[in-house]
Amino acid sequence: DADVTQTPRNRITKTGKRIMLECSQTKGHDRMYWYRQDPGLGLRLIYYSFDVKDINKGEISDGYSVSRQAQAKFSLSLESAIPNQTALYFCATSDKRDSKNIQYFGAGTRLSVL
């Protein structure tokens, strides 16, 4: 089983729909992150959370919201999906005890908004 699991792996939705992408981890890490990747671009940070009660906006948080339901779960929501949110979304985790802050990534969710 993967340490960082994202569901669904693929999703097609229509403009205006609310959707949720889920991430769960078995690594026992306290820090979790959501990124999006567009073709030819690097990863851009959407939101991050350093523990259950800590939520921080990243570089491109507009149009997104998150929920840290438990240490192991971090969900990303698109309140009203629009076509330019079509992208590959990655969840990542890291351990606050790791001085190098190495991140571990899920396999990604490919989202298409029509």
Partner 1 sequence: KQEVTQIPAALSVPEGENLVLNCSFTDSAIYNLQWFRQDPGKGLTSLLLIQSSQREQTSGRLNASLDKSSGRSTLYIAASQPGDSATYLCAVRGRAASGGSYIPTFGRGTSLIVHP
Q: Name the site residues for partner 1 (rule: CB under 8 A).
A: 4, 35, 40-45, 48, 50, 56, 58, 90, 92, 100-108, 110
Q: Which CB, 18 or 96, lies closer to partner 1? A: 96
Q: Give the dihedral sign, CA 60/20/107/53.
A: positive
Closest approach of partner 1 to the CB of residue 8, in Å: 14
Return the amino acid letter for 67.
S
CB nearer to partner 1: give 25 or 80: 25
State the nearest-atom distance from the C-beta of 78 to partner 1, in Å: 20
**What does each C-alpha distance from 25 to 34, 63, 79, 81 come to in angstroms?**
13, 25, 24, 25
For the four alpha carbons of 79, 82, 84 and 86, in that order, the dihedral sign comes to positive
For partner 1, give the closer residue by CB, 17 or 27. Answer: 27
